[in-house]
Chains A and B, each alone.
Chain A
């Protein structure tokens, strides 16, 4: 079993850049996916395959990967971006894992 580690919280002011990291030994070999979840709502996929953005997701959301760490970057953060963010990956045996989640606070 492997783990994905995220910081519990990140705080930024509106208009600034937020970076949320996710670390895991499997990440050099497996793609990472990022989800945004607002209170009382289902998760929404915001980044897939490390850095691809689904249609309808604002361009300010981007993803990158380096070694055992993937990063979700939100440029020009807006108040509506305040949410919990989860990374997710899978291993070669067909099991999936989520990171513990990061609460993004827009100050």
Chain B
């Protein structure tokens, strides 16, 4: 079964850091681009970052310079290092598998991990 399982969420103070992990199984992880997408309570989906199979990375302006996406193919794992966290980063964070080459959609999603930034 194709599966993504996120972990690492929790409560962190403003300005703090957190590292999210996503464990992939049931498919050849190294062959797929991967994404992080977040959703604040009662709000819409927001794309956070993407990483290609060659390790190329992409970010929107809202997190660029604060968040770093990485992958470890030997461990079938995706990561999101989040620094300088703000209240506005509070959300459920999903990892998702890209459905095709760059510019495509996301065909497999995890259940999400919750990040709360608060003092």
- Say yes or no for A1: interface residue by CB 8 A criterion: yes
Stretch at the interface among B10-18, B73-81, B102-110: B102-110
Distance of A42 from chain B, by nearest CB (Å): 4
- Which residues of chain B (82-116) have a CB below 8 Å from chain A? 94, 96, 99-100, 102-107, 109-112
- The size bracket of the interface on B is 20 to 34
B44 touching A33, Cβ below 8 Å: no
B35, A45: Cβ atoms under 8 Å?
Answer: no
Work out how many contacts link A and B, with CB atoms closer than 8 A: 74
B109 near A86 (CB under 8 angstroms)?
no
Say if the beta carbon of B27 comes within 8 Å of chain A: no
Q: A1-B61, A33-B106 are in contact. Are A48 and B99 (CB under 8 A)?
A: yes
How would residues 76 to 91 of chain A score, 1 for a CB under 8 Å from any chain B CB and 0 otherwise? Answer: 0000000010101011
Residue of A nearest to B45 (CB): A98
Q: Is the CB of A43 within 8 A of B45?
A: yes
Taken together as a complex, chains A and B put the C-alpha atoms of A50 and B24 apart, in Å, by 27
B46 close to A (CB within 8 Å): yes
Query: Which of B20-54 touch A at CB < 8 Å?
Result: 35, 37, 44-47, 50
* Residue B60 CB within 8 A of the other chain: yes
Give the nearest-CB partner of A97 in chain B. B47
Query: What does the 1/0 interface line of A41-68 toward B look like (CB < 8 Å)?
Result: 0111100110000100000000000000
In the complex, are the beta carbons of B45 and A86 less than 8 A apart?
A: yes
Bound: A42/B99 CA distance, A: 16
20 pairs of residues in contact across A and B, judged by CB atoms under 8 Å: A30-B103, A31-B104, A31-B105, A35-B106, A37-B45, A43-B96, A43-B106, A45-B99, A48-B107, A49-B105, A88-B45, A88-B105, A90-B103, A91-B103, A94-B103, A96-B47, A96-B50, A96-B60, A98-B46, A99-B44
Interface residues of A (CB under 8 A from B): 1, 30-31, 33, 35, 37, 42-45, 48-49, 54, 84, 86, 88, 90-101
